[in-house]
Amino acid sequence: MIFLKDNKKPQKNSYTQKAPLPKTAVVPLSQHIGRPAKPIVEKNSLVEENQIIAKADGLISSNIHSPVKGKVKDIKEFNHPILKHSPAVIIETDTKQEAYSSETAAKDPSQVLSLPSEKLIEAIRQAGIVGMGGATFPTAVKLTPPKKIDTLIVNGAECEPFLTCDFRIMIEHTESIIRGIEIITKILQPERVIIAVEENKKEAIKRFNSKLHTKKYSLPKAEVIVLASAYPQGAEKQLIYNTLKRKTPAGKLPFEVGAVVQNVGTCFAIYQALYLNKPLTERVVTFAGDALTEPKNLLVKTGTLVSELFSQGILEFKKGPAKVIFGGPMMGIAVPSLDFPILKGTSGVLFFTQSAIDPAPEQTCIRCGRCVDVCPMNLLPLMFAKHGKTQDKEALKDYFIEDCIECGSCAYACPAKIPLVNYIKLGKELIRKK
């Protein structure tokens, strides 16, 4: 674990704003782990807001819905912040559509919680909900573990510097998140619920404790556990160990140690799906970095191009950025332009000037062991760089490269400025190709 300057102000303290509707929505068919969704609309089709436009292709896949009312201009390859390019449905927004549809009245909790688990899971599947913390694993699948679990951990750590989207929904939608947790507990039937929040989010801790104190929710034993503000505190296996002192074996999933972890954003999305009949077509995203005039959190429709947020004037540059990153500075991915769409898993977009970027070139490894000291998975990152350069697939597997969570702690600590995460990604790709 490492301790980083969080750089979460001023965006941490500003209320979430609604971004304007995009004039053109670019909706990738890959917004989740697994197979891309299959489009069920054609060019020139008219679509309604929240209509399914692509269906999940298999178990590990997810439905995709239209974020706007409009006309399908095309279905073609487009920029993708993770895959570089991916098929996308391109929708021209109806100019007569209201900026944001009025919210429907929320259902009563008794209406939702009286539904059998199978119907709750199916509603989550139909709504296209995926892990909102960045992993984007289809949530309906995660909520059907093959063995009984005893603990649900709700992840409110948000340990990446700059990002505050989870913090804002925790304090702006506390009750809705707890209602989402109720739904998950109805499905999983855990004995215990832990809401894990880092200590630098005092207002979120206060609000959760205040709500849980009322005891008006249908929850088993529930508590807020306050964690140190360290990185990567929010990583699934670290969270399980730091809250339950259980180690998840190499190559195994959390259910093997009796736990399921869900991000607070996922809980909020589940609430919206079950209480408001609202699929996952928008999310809160942090926009920050020293190149911006005003860092902020925006409620953005999926498929909105970052460039549109600037052309519509909701974001402004103080100085031209030298680097744009989708995600946080530790695990995010740099993109070459602003013409990339917001996805279901986009937690933030960061804009940095040249002065904020470390220009130091890669040097020779001095075998100091700092990368080993900070690795939360107890791996040997220096060996990933060594064998990644020689493309030795077997050696990479022998050093358990597939257990690496790509948190970036090793690269941060490396005095030789070796881009270790780049070599790790390359190594994993080599193994996948084999």
Q: Which amino acid is at 364?
A: T
Q: CB-based contacts of 207: which residues, under 8 Å, 6+ apart?
A: 170, 171, 174
Q: Are 321 and 353 in contact (CB under 8 A)?
A: yes
In this prediction, the residues of the chain whose per-residue pLDDT falls under 70 are 99-103, 434
pLDDT at 105 (0 to 100): 84
CA 222, CA 74: separation in Å to the nearest integer? 48
Phi, psi dihedrals of residue 101, rounded to the nearest 5° = -60, 145
CA 248, CA 233: separation in Å to the nearest integer? 15
pLDDT at 251 (0 to 100): 84
pTM equals 0.95
Which two tokens mark 368?
């100091």
CA 321, CA 314: separation in Å to the nearest integer? 17
pLDDT at 174 (0 to 100): 98
CA 227, CA 146: separation in Å to the nearest integer? 29
CA 183, CA 401: separation in Å to the nearest integer? 36
pLDDT at 135 (0 to 100): 86
pLDDT at 35 (0 to 100): 95
**N-to-C CA span, the chain:** 32
For residue 382, what are the β-bridge partners? none
CA-angle at 379, arms to 376 and 381, nearest 5°? 105
pLDDT at 279 (0 to 100): 98
Count the alpha carbons within 13 Å of 415 in the hemisphere toward its beta carbon.
5
